[in-house]
Amino acid sequence: MPPCAYVKVVEPTILLVIPCDILWELVNASPVIARNLLYKLSRRMRSSNATLSDTLQVKDHFEQAANHDALTGLTNRRGLEVIFSSLNSPGRQAYLPLSIALIDIDHFKHFNDNYGHQAGDAVLATLGQHFKQHVRTHDVVARYGGEEFLIVLPSTALQPAIRVVDRLRQMMAHQRVQSEGQELPSVTFSAGLSEWSEEETLEQVIEAADTALYRAKKEGRNRVCW
């Protein structure tokens, strides 16, 4: 008869081999032996399952940490690569129209120099939460690097996306930032937007958004360009 199960050894183990006929003789002769065998097997299986569960939880924790920015809690550059990979899949038409906004805090270095890096961190965290609270649940908000953020807006053409980001800009311009009980001045940001067409790669869309962002800063900052 072929085996009905296999056991994989995950640590150094002493193996006791009992021929099948002798095992059944022992079981039939003494219910206590059968009960003890089942008890030992069940304990070992519970222990292995608990170890496996703990390992998976640790793995999930590290994956979460690796894909998210520690300061803002937003998706980071590595997490964006995972998202972009799914967006570049053959079924990407389901996300279209799709717009991308690249956002940069205005005069952030000057703010850091005047109020300190801790205040600068408070600005980044506040801005990140501001974006998360005022976009849809399926939109992706990421810290792209330094004082730059990136927002992915699926099922959103360029003109609606412009209105969304400009509303975020106007709201943020009137929001005060708190740092260690101190109220800091409000900050503004510049944004560049681009819509993803089927003929373009995702990298080309981001490059177009970056060019629009450069234009927004060149034209005086605190504005949205596309």
Let me know whether 217 and 143 are in one domain: yes
Helix (H, G, I), strand (E, B), or coil: what is residue 144? strand
If one compares 59 and 193, the residue with the highest pLDDT of the two is 193
Let me know whether 34 and 131 are in one domain: no
Q: Which of 25, 147, 200, 207 is catalytic?
A: 147
Let me know whether 83 and 114 are in one domain: yes
Let me know whether 135 and 198 are in one domain: yes
Let me know whether 134 and 33 are in one domain: no
Phi, psi of 32 (to 5 degrees): -65, -45
Residue 6 inside a domain? The answer is no
Q: End of a domain among 67, 98, 126?
A: 67
Let me know whether 60 and 129 are in one domain: no
Count: domains in the chain:
2
If one compares 16 and 224, the residue with the highest pLDDT of the two is 224
Let me know whether 28 and 82 are in one domain: no
Let me know whether 59 and 114 are in one domain: no
Cα 92 to Cα 87: distance, rounded to the nearest angstrom: 5
Let me know whether 151 and 185 are in one domain: yes
pLDDT band at 51, cuts 50/70/90?
A: very low
Q: Is 11 a catalytic residue?
A: no
pLDDT at 55 over 70: no
pLDDT band at 101, cuts 50/70/90?
A: very high
Return the sign of the alpha-carbon dihedral for residues 32, 33, 38, 39: positive
- Report the chain's mean pLDDT, rounded to a whole number: 84
| C-alpha neighbours within 13 Å on the C-beta side of residue 105 | 26
pLDDT tens digits for 115-157? 999 999 999 999 999 999 999 999 999 999 999 999 999 999 9
User: What does pTM read for this prediction?
Assistant: 0.72
pLDDT at 113 over 90: yes
Let me know whether 87 and 191 are in one domain: yes
Cα 149 from chain centre: 14
Cα 197 to Cα 43: distance, rounded to the nearest angstrom: 57
**Residue 62: predicted pLDDT:** 41
**Residue 58: predicted pLDDT:** 43
Q: Indicate the DSSP class of residue 221.
A: S
Return the sign of the alpha-carbon dihedral for residues 113, 117, 123, 128: positive
Residue 9 inside a domain? The answer is no
The boundaries of the domain holding residue 110 are 77-225
